[in-house]
Structure formats: C-alpha cells, structure tokens
C-alpha cells in the first residue's frame, strides 16, 4: 500500500513520532506554523491529521481531498468544525484515556493554592516579612467542605476520588450521568445547578463548551454563591463569563477563582483577570505533565494507526 500521509499540526511528544518512524506504512510532516494559509497548503494531500489546539475551520477541512481522520491531541474538540467533518465523512478521534488524571491533579493544585493563599504567604517570606505571619489573612481548609463537580465524565470522575481523599463532601451536577454512577463513586447527584451552587464551598467545571454551557457561570449565579466559595475552570474558556467573574471577585461575592482556560487564548493583556489578585492562572497547561504529554503524543498517533488498521475503538471517537 502507498504510504499514508500524516499532517501533525503543532509538535507532539517524540514518543508519538516514534510510532510513525517505526512503521513503514506512514510518512509525516510536522507543521509548527499555525496560520490558516499554512495549514491550507498542506491539508489537501494528507490522509490524516493530528491536531492540538489550532483551529480547523470548515473552509480548511473542505480543502482536503484525502482526509479520513482528524485525531485530536486532547479531548475537547471545539476547535474543529464538526459539520464539515461530518459532511466529508471524516472520523474524529480524541485521546480519551490520556489526560484525566493530569487535569484532576491540576484542579486540586489550584484549589489548594487559592485556599492556602499561596502567593501572599510565599511573597511574605521571600520579601523578608516572616514576622507578618500573624497579620496575614487566614487561609482556609478544604476538609469537610462541599464541592460541586459540574460535568462528571472522565475528568470529573477522576477528580471525585481525589476530593474524597481530602474528605470533602462531593456533589455532582451532570444531567447525563445516573445517580447510581455518582453514588458508586461516593458523590451525591444534584438535579438543579442554581439551587445547589448556593451551598458550595468549591465548584469545579468539567463540561464541554457548547451553546448550553456558554456563560453557564455568570454574574447572577455568582451572586448567589457563598462568599468563601472557590471556583475552578479547567474545562473551556467561555463556560465562566470572564467579565462577570472579575466583577464578582472585586465585589467579594466569592473567595477566589482558578482558571486554566480563557475565552480568548492567549488572553488579551488588558483582560482584567490578569491583574486580579484573587485569581490563580495557568496557560491552558492542566494536561501538560511529562507523563500526560507522552500519553497524549502516543495516543493521538495510535488512534490514526488503529483507524487505518480498522481497529480504532469506538470509545475514542466522537459521534458526528
């Protein structure tokens, strides 16, 4: 058979590349330049694409002639035009088993950083103000506190185990997951987001970004939350309205927020959240552990190989 051409849009871990160099059925090209015209010039002849966060518009997809599979390096696929992919009968795969643990750990990292006022305490010692320790605002515990996990898929189900390790009371909002599944992992299913969020000390978002979840967390809802509540978004920017969040933090409606994702990435320098001391930020790197990058690099390529060998597991594909 002639070699399949794989276009890798944005570099991936070498462990993934090795799967291709070890296999004589494939040739590949790595595209580091992400301008639409650069992708356009390469997309027409490739049989498969591995893609990270670059945008793959319908216009670009329609320029492809042989494209059979788009393999996301990650699990969110809001950067891919689904209608165009469906129209051209292209399979969409995700690295379904690779990144849940890394993201769940990152949520705990953010939650504890905010609760323990990491920046303030760290700065205090480093700037020679150790003796200020009694004057600093107190930190808070997460033990015995209520956390709401909104979206109980791969990441939400990894997070609950870690929250239980800290003896938190875990509530789950996900209309598509049964009470039995939630309870089997030690959580309590809630039916109504607005009613339950009022009683939470922490909220962590793990829903996909779509028309129903855009601005799910807005000023009105933030206004009903407890003043000590910490909210974490490691799902997708846009699930929390950023202007509303900044306002709610400035009005002390909640304690703090952790954001790994932004409505616009990278965020504009004049985004007020970049200067808000009550926010803990990371640059969409929740899944960037050494271990996870290896797993994602391998899985995105293995999904392509499995597809052409007609053994790609359905659980790794998205129904279009």
Ligand X SMILES: NC(=O)c1ccc[n+]([C@@H]2O[C@H](COP(=O)([O-])OP(=O)(O)OC[C@H]3O[C@@H](n4cnc5c(N)ncnc54)[C@H](O)[C@@H]3O)[C@@H](O)[C@H]2O)c1
| Binding interface with ligand X (CB under 6 A) | 74-76, 99-100, 103, 150-156, 173-177, 206-209, 212-213, 234-236, 260-261, 284, 286-287
Whether 32 is a known active-site residue: answer no
Whether 236 is a known active-site residue: answer yes
CB of 265 to ligand X, least distance (A): 11
Q: Which is nearer to ligand X, 28 or 173 (CB)?
A: 173
Residue among 166, 53, 147, 154 at smallest CA distance from 102: 154
Residue with the CB atom nearest ligand X in the bound state: 153
Candidates 72, 236, 295, 299; catalytic one? 236
Q: Which is nearer to ligand X, 54 or 234 (CB)?
A: 234
CB of 125 to ligand X, least distance (A): 30
Candidates 29, 141, 265, 291; catalytic one? 265
Return the axis-axis angle of helices 290-308 and 14-21, rounded to nearest 10°.
Answer: 30
Residue among 121, 126, 124 at smallest CA distance from 138: 121
CB of 282 to ligand X, least distance (A): 8
Task: Give dist(CA 225, CA 256) in Å, integer.
Answer: 12
CB of 277 to ligand X, least distance (A): 22
Q: Which is nearer to ligand X, 67 or 286 (CB)?
A: 286
Q: Which is nearer to ligand X, 103 or 114 (CB)?
A: 103
Whether 117 is a known active-site residue: answer no
Q: Which is nearer to ligand X, 153 or 272 (CB)?
A: 153
Q: Cβ distance 54 to 78 under 8 Å?
A: no
**Residues 269, 274, 276, 281: what is their CA dihedral angle, to the nearest 10 degrees?**
180
CB of 285 to ligand X, least distance (A): 7
Query: Catalytic amino acids?
Result: 236, 265, 284
């Amino acid at each position: 058979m002639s070699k399949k051409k794989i276009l890798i849009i944005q570099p991936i871990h070498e462990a993934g590349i090795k799967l291709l160099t070890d296999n004589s059925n494939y040739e590949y090209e790595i595209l580091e330049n992400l301008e639409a015209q650069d992708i356009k010039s390469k997309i027409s002849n490739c049989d498969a694409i591995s893609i990270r966060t670059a945008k793959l518009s319908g216009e670009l997809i329609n320029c492809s002639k042989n494209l059979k599979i788009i393999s996301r390096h990650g699990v969110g696929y809001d950067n891919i035009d689904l209608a165009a992919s469906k129209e051209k009968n292209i399979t969409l795969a995700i690295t379904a088993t690779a990144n849940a643990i890394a993201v769940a750990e990152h949520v705990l990292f953010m939650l504890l950083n905010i609760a323990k006022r990491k920046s303030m305490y760290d700065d205090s010692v480093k700037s020679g103000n150790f003796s200020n320790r009694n004057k600093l605002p107190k930190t808070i515990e997460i033990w015995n506190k209520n956390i709401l996990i909104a979206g109980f898929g791969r990441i939400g189900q990894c997070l609950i185990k870690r929250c239980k390790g800290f003896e938190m009371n875990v509530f789950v909002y996900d209309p598509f997951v049964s009470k039995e599944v939630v309870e089997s992992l030690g959580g309590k299913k809630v039916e109504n987001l607005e009613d339950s969020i009022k009683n939470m000390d922490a909220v962590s978002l793990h829903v996909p970004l779509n028309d129903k979840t855009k601005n799910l967390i807005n000023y009105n809802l933030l206004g009903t939350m407890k003043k000590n509540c910490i909210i974490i978004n490691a799902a997708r920017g846009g699930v929390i309205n950023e202007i509303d969040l900044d306002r709610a933090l400035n009005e002390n409606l909640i304690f703090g927020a952790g954001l790994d994702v932004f409505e616009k990435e990278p965020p504009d320098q004049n985004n007020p959240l970049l200067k808000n001391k009550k926010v803990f930020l990371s640059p969409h790197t929740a899944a960037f552990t050494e271990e996870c990058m290896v797993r994602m690099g391998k899985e995105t390529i293995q999904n392509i190989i499995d597809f052409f060998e007609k053994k790609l597991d359905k659980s790794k594909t998205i129904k279009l």
